[in-house]
Copies of this chain bind each other. A is one copy, B any other.
Amino acid sequence: MKTAKISIVGFGSIGAGLATEIAKKKDFLKIKGYDLKVVTIVDADGAEIDEDGLNIKSIIEKRERGEDFSYAKGALDLIGEIDQDILVECTPSNIRNGNPGLNHILTALKNGVNVVTSNKGPLVVAYKRIMETAKKNNVSIGYEATVGGAIPLINLVKGNLRADDIVAIKGILNGTSNYILTKMHAEKRDYEEILLEAKELGIAETDASYDVEGIDTASKLVILANSLMGMDVKYEDVEVEGITRITPESLDLADELGCTIKLIGEVEREGKRLKVSPKLVPYDRPLSVGGTLNIVLIKTDVAGEVTISGKGAGPKETSSALLSDILNIVDERC
């Protein structure tokens, strides 16, 4: 049995979702030879700590009752203090300076703690620095959950397609904007109206500007270009246009051509081209997937075009990606 002590930093929907799945899959994981113990849970307002493994269910119930955490400690205090194998960073993404996530990640790596993260910000602003810090301290970092939710895209390319040279990647990388476009098209209703509804349903966040202005998609492109295509690009290298100017009329015009409109992110290594923009997509093409689905088309020298799609967001789906990274690190390091 391989055991690993895990700290979860950030206990919003993603962090709590992961903790729940680890508790729920305890027996399944034991059959596969893994014993995962969550030893700390930290959020902005405090921490829970138990080196023998926390009782996840009672902590989630406690949070639902609105009670405070037991310890007034922050993530940075606990990194040097607690014995842990993997720190899972899932605080909210900040693509301006990457913090607080970047700080958490670099401090963990420097302390010899492996990191798994769902947080795009740190990877967008400091991909190279993070990778170099991990290498120098002989620890690993997994970031499958930063792009494409449940789609095992990054590990797929790094692992199973590593004999291939990736020449281009394009796809739908933001579930919220895909949901809005799909609804606008199907119900012939205005952008503003659908956005409001998506917010009420919890599909869009209160501030949905990252999603609808293409910022989220552009951030993901930067991560994909740097990590899978051997490029060295920054957010500023991406040409970005969102979906805020799409009207039901433009969708009708697209329909007459047998097409719909999708927010497409594209990276081509040749010419260092990175672009996010609404594009006409014929109905019979894979990229016409609807709802909150994400889809990615990978173009390689040997395999040709491989397309993969799945749920792009959601705490449960993101847990699949986080868990996959966690088990990779346990196999490699623990």
Q: Which residues of A contact B (CB under 8 A)?
A: 21, 25, 28-29, 32, 144, 150-152, 155-156, 159-165, 283-284, 286, 288-290, 300, 302-311, 314, 316-317, 319-321, 323-324, 326-328
What B residues does A308 contact at CB under 8 A? 306-309
Docked Cα-Cα span, A159 to B326, in Å, equals 12
A-B contact pairs, 18 of them (CB 8 A): A25-B302, A150-B303, A150-B304, A150-B306, A152-B160, A159-B159, A160-B324, A161-B324, A162-B324, A163-B320, A163-B326, A284-B290, A286-B309, A302-B316, A303-B310, A303-B320, A306-B308, A307-B309
Query: Are B159 and A306 in contact, with the CB atoms below 8 A?
Result: no
Dominant secondary structure at the A interface: mixed
User: Quick one: given A165-B28, A302-B316, A305-B310, are A160 and B150 in contact (CB under 8 Å)?
Assistant: no
Whether the Cβ atoms of A159 and B164 lie closer than 8 Å is no
A20 to chain B, nearest CB (A): 11
State how many angstroms separate the Cβ of A69 from the closest Cβ of chain B. 26
Which residues of B sit under 8 angstroms from A165, Cβ to Cβ? 28
Contacts of A29 in B (CB 8 A): 163
- A-B contact sample (9 more), CB < 8 A, given A286-B289, A306-B310: A28-B165, A163-B323, A163-B326, A163-B327, A283-B284, A284-B290, A302-B319, A303-B317, A308-B309
Residue on B with the closest CB to A151? B306
Distance (Å) between the CB of A140 and the closest chain B CB?
15
Instruction: Give the residues in chain B near A144, CB-CB below 8 Å.
Output: 160
Contacts of A152 in B (CB 8 A): 156, 160-161, 303, 306
Specify which of B159, B304, B310 is in contact with A310 (CB 8 Å cutoff): B304
